[in-house]
Amino acid sequence: MRLFGTLFALALVALAMLASQRVPSQQLAAPVQVVRPMVPCSRPMFRMPSKTPRGRRDAMVAKFKFLKDLGIKKPDFLPDFGGPKKARMAEAFVLNGFPASERAPTFEATIGGEVASAEELAQAAESMKSATDFNAQPYDEETLERVITFTANGKTCELRMTQEGKILSATL
């Protein structure tokens, strides 16, 4: 937005300069000479930002979150932009031993179809250090959850993740 404001101001200044010039009704007696500065300008008149500041990018994302709140779905032809990032988050969650700070308040882990205790989850975490093939599925439009599948010890496992990145459940 700031860039457009700067460009608009420059355009207004250029128009004002053109409007202030008068065209002489008679031809000038002496030829007009172009005067150039002796020292070239070493600094540009205005500078483009090289990177969007962190806070501005988050504000931009927050502006479009209302579309999800209204229930407007992403068109099928658009790619799933958050998938690889969520898969990396899930990989870090598994490789770090299922840290409590990244779990949702309702987190539940099941091993072999049965609810796992804290000790069983800790043992499973130790055996999951070699987990591979993390794949994030698209968000479920009904529950707004994402399923991440991965392979650990030759067995397919899955995590259910919220939009905020908290892990809801782990099926091991």
Written as six digits, the tokens of 139 are: 């968000």
Residues 172 and 116: beta-carbon distance below 8 Å: yes
Range 75-82, long-range pairs (CB < 8 A, 24+ positions): 80/136, 80/138, 80/139, 82/136, 82/146
Judged against a pLDDT cut of 90, whether residue 12 lies above it is answered with: no
Residues 78 and 137: beta-carbon distance below 8 Å: no
pLDDT digits (tens, 9 = 90+) for 59-93: 555 566 677 778 777 777 777 666 788 888 888 88
Confirm whether pTM is higher than 0.75: no
Q: How many CA atoms lie within 13 A of 155 on its CB side?
A: 10
Averaged pLDDT, 142-151: 87
Q: Looking at residue 73, what is its pLDDT?
A: 74
Return the residue matching tokens 């207004």: 12
